[in-house]
Amino acid sequence: MIIYIEKQAKNYKQTKIILDKFKNSDIIWIDNYKNLFDKELPLWSNKNSFVVAKLNSAAITNAPNWYWHNDKTSYFFKTSLNCIFDCSYCFLKWAFKNDVPIYFINYDEIRLQIEDKVKNIWVSLDEKEDWNDYELNIKTDLKYKDKIWFYSSDYSDILWMDNISYFLKNFVPFFEKINSPFHKIRTWENFIPSMMEVRTKSANIKAILDLWFIPKNTEFAFSLNPQDLIEKYEHWTSSLDERIKSINILLDKGYNVWLRFLPLLPVKNYKEIYGEFVKEIKTRIDIKRVSSTFVSGLLYTKSDYNNILKKYPKLDILYRLKDEDWIFIREKREMRDYFYNIFRDLDKECFICLDKK
């Protein structure tokens, strides 16, 4: 194993933990992770290296409009880049120049950014008199939707990476504690929980079970697709069977579990494949015990679509997408409606992402 470590990351606790764990590795000290990250490298096929770095830029970005929860108080945050898995349709294919995993280790600073974000929403709203429309909306929405959401795992499969990053140990307890004051009068009822989503295609739930408590403010979201499609398009991810077994273990123990059916892929015999898939889910998972379900088709903005097409001109599913509306290249209406109907039949509250039903 070769570990590239930024010199500025040397004295962080997390780096020391990694060094301790990989005692027999070759260590190469580097000035800046971007010197590796910004290079076209062959696919990280031998899986024998990773990078440890300090994140100096913003860890948090706003979630796009209509992503799911209240779009004005939903955020992505990153503690790592690149993914061990190889999903053919993934935006990381063209977003980054190579797939060497980058682990950021300055957790204290990243947690501080999250705390500041939560605090600032309220400081700015509590103490202002001249509200603009945007701020008024946040204030009103929060009263009703009453949670602030942080989605981890946007740039990697954070659960899979946990055996090196110890992400859960460092962030799940943190999210149990941060709350946003609803009002100047700080009674218990006036605090709003800040929630975290951990999304994964891995079935390795050891790190979750090792937490030794059931978190209230973290939801574990499993992305699911039919096994044939996992084999064809989601290379190296856990099998459907393994994921379902892990989901059921967590449900039995009382964890908050979400099911994410995404992206639903435009394969030729999609009706048959997804019809069977929903039947399997129905028989193997007690949907009533799941916190929520969520569906999304495969979609790209026009520029992203052109990028992935350039990179993977032979990827069949790309050619079954259409220029359907002014934002996205996506599955045709009839196919999306079929998907939404079967998943609404599974769970009538199933949330449809970035589309109307």
Query: Cα dihedral sign for 63, 216, 168, 256?
Result: negative
Q: What is the CA radius of gyration of the chain?
A: 21
Q: Which is nearer to ligand SF4, 117 or 260 (CB)?
A: 260
- Nearest approach in angstroms of CB 16 to ligand SF4 is 28
Q: What is the DSSP string of 170-209?
A: HHHHHHHH-EEE-SSS--GGGEEEEEEEEEES----HHHH
- Nearest approach in angstroms of CB 130 to ligand SF4 is 42
Q: Is 353 in the site for ligand SF4 (CB under 6 A)?
A: no
- Nearest approach in angstroms of CB 136 to ligand SF4 is 36
- Which of 78, 111, 201, 260 binds ligand SF4 (CB under 6 A)? It is 201
Asked whether 119 and 128 are in contact (CB, 8 A), the reply is no
Q: Between the CA of residue 145 and those of 205, 224, 295, what are the distances in Å?
A: 30, 27, 20
- Nearest approach in angstroms of CB 198 to ligand SF4 is 12
DSSP code of residue 318: G
Q: Which is nearer to ligand SF4, 15 or 202 (CB)?
A: 202
- Which of 6, 157, 197, 219 binds ligand SF4 (CB under 6 A)? It is 157
Q: Which is nearer to ligand SF4, 70 or 238 (CB)?
A: 238
Q: Which is nearer to ligand SF4, 237 or 293 (CB)?
A: 237
- Nearest approach in angstroms of CB 155 to ligand SF4 is 7
Per CB under 6 A, contacts with ligand SF4 among 106-145 are none
Q: Which is nearer to ligand SF4, 191 or 312 (CB)?
A: 312
Instruction: Give the list of residues 6+ apart from residue 77 with CB closer than 8 angstroms, or none.
Output: 59, 60, 61, 110, 113, 114, 150, 151, 152, 154
- Nearest approach in angstroms of CB 13 to ligand SF4 is 27
Asked whether 294 and 287 are in contact (CB, 8 A), the reply is no
Asked whether 165 and 103 are in contact (CB, 8 A), the reply is yes
Q: Name residue 323's beta-bridge partners.
A: 329
Using alpha carbons, select from 92, 214, 78 the residue that is nearest to residue 150.
Answer: 78
Per CB under 6 A, contacts with ligand SF4 among 61-100 are 83, 85-87, 90, 92
- Nearest approach in angstroms of CB 227 to ligand SF4 is 16
Q: Which is nearer to ligand SF4, 18 or 308 (CB)?
A: 308
CA–CA gap between residue 14 and residue 142 (Å, rounded): 35
Asked whether 8 and 71 are in contact (CB, 8 A), the reply is no
Q: Which is nearer to ligand SF4, 156 or 256 (CB)?
A: 156
- Nearest approach in angstroms of CB 348 to ligand SF4 is 27
Q: Which is nearer to ligand SF4, 118 or 331 (CB)?
A: 331
Give the count of alpha carbons within 13 A of 269, CB side only. Answer: 8
- Nearest approach in angstroms of CB 235 to ligand SF4 is 9
Q: How many residues bind ligand SF4 (CB under 6 A)?
A: 9
What does residue 32 show for φ and ψ, rounded to 5 degrees?
A: -150, 130
Per CB under 6 A, contacts with ligand SF4 among 251-270 are none
Asked whether 323 and 306 are in contact (CB, 8 A), the reply is no
Q: Which is nearer to ligand SF4, 139 or 297 (CB)?
A: 297
User: Residues in the site for ligand SF4, rule: CB under 6 A?
Assistant: 83, 85-87, 90, 92, 156-157, 201
